Amino acid sequence: MARILVTNDDGVSAEGLLRLQEVLADIDGTEVIVVAPDREQSATSHSLTLHRPLRLKEVSAGRYSVDGTPTDCVSLAVFWLMKGSPPDLIVSGINSGLNLGDDVTYSGTVSATFEGALLGIPSVAFSQDISAEFSFERAAGFARLLVRSLLAHPLPEGLLLNVNLPAGQLGPVRLTRLGSRVYRQSVIEKTDPRGRRYFWIAGTPEWRHEEGTDHAAVAAGEISVTPLHLDLTDYERLNDPSGLNRWLLALEPEPSER
């Protein structure tokens, strides 16, 4: 019996999560356990709650809510609820909105899979373009197909998949790299009814049009699958004797600074 942990960052009642739970529970020989935030936790990234207690609530059979982040949910699931027989796979989503390129560093959806990778559990994140004509149903159908394959061909340790689905009919699967944004986030200044200033972080993402990226694939109506790992080391720079190591290794700390 394969045990699948389903989580998200849109909250335990989000439609994308419910569709995902439904189709995965339908795969023969699987047991699906849902542990998700009790409210919207989008853009909470990989944050972990350490300075207050967490409450776990069984919402319905096999579905739990946590008053914390997606990473908190994975921790409580793996180290408490599923203790003794950890999940074979962690599936996060289906997020309401894409998680492309640079945005994966903000994403709670993708961060749940980061946590999975750190714990040595194969993990995959699904995000759906929610512009016109999108369908969680269609996305869930593809998720089911991919998850069935992942149960038969588990991911190597440390590798996780970030899947983004286009809004219309689903095109072919494309293996992609992360794209980059061109916009600068803007901050809007307003005044509240008591005359005090407040700020709102805003901005619509625009993407550099580059072949081979997740953005290019989704823009072309294809299903983007980006293999990710958590090692952020820049190996090219690490091993480049004319780069950083030329001056960095020559720095001599003063004795008092040692």
Q: Which is nearer to Mn ion, 126 or 207 (CB)?
A: 126
Q: Which is nearer to Mn ion, 2 or 107 (CB)?
A: 107
Is residue 213 within 8 Å of residue 181, measured between CB atoms?
no
Among 7, 9, 32, 228, binds Mn ion (CB under 5 A): 9
Cα 213 from Cα 197, distance rounded (Å): 39
Shortest distance (Å) from residue 136 CB to Mn ion:
13
Shortest distance (Å) from residue 5 CB to Mn ion:
17
Q: Which is nearer to Mn ion, 9 or 72 (CB)?
A: 9
3-state secondary structure 107-136: CHHHHHHHHHHHCCCCEEEEEECCCCCCCH
C-alpha count within 13 angstroms, C-beta hemisphere, residue 252:
2
Closest chain position to Mn ion (CB): 42
CA distances from 184 to 101, 190, 210 (A): 14, 19, 18
127 lies in the binding site for Mn ion (CB under 5 A)? no
Is residue 102 within 8 Å of residue 18, measured between CB atoms?
no
129 lies in the binding site for Mn ion (CB under 5 A)? no
Among 7, 21, 42, 113, binds Mn ion (CB under 5 A): 42
Which residue's structure tokens are 């699948």? 4
Task: Count residues near Mn ion (CB under 5 A).
Answer: 4
162 lies in the binding site for Mn ion (CB under 5 A)? no
Residues 86-125 that bind Mn ion (CB under 5 A): 95
Shortest distance (Å) from residue 99 CB to Mn ion:
8
Shortest distance (Å) from residue 74 CB to Mn ion:
15
Q: Residues of 13-42 as b/e, b for ≥16 C-beta within 10 angstroms?
A: ebebbbbbbebbbeeeebbbbbbbbbeebb
Shortest distance (Å) from residue 9 CB to Mn ion:
4
214 lies in the binding site for Mn ion (CB under 5 A)? no
Residues 6+ positions from 153 with CB-CB distance below 8 Å: none
CA distances from 67 to 59, 76, 103, 144, 210 (A): 12, 11, 24, 28, 39
Shortest distance (Å) from residue 62 CB to Mn ion:
22
Stretch in the footprint of Mn ion (CB under 5 A) among 5-13, 51-59, 139-147, 189-197: 5-13
Shortest distance (Å) from residue 10 CB to Mn ion:
4
Among 5, 6, 7, 10, binds Mn ion (CB under 5 A): 10
Q: What amino acid occupies position 152?
A: A
* 3-class secondary-structure state, position 63: strand
Cα 96 from Cα 126, distance rounded (Å): 9
Stretch in the footprint of Mn ion (CB under 5 A) among 29-37, 38-46, 146-154, 249-257: 38-46
Applying CB under 5 A, the residues found at the interface with Mn ion are 9-10, 42, 95
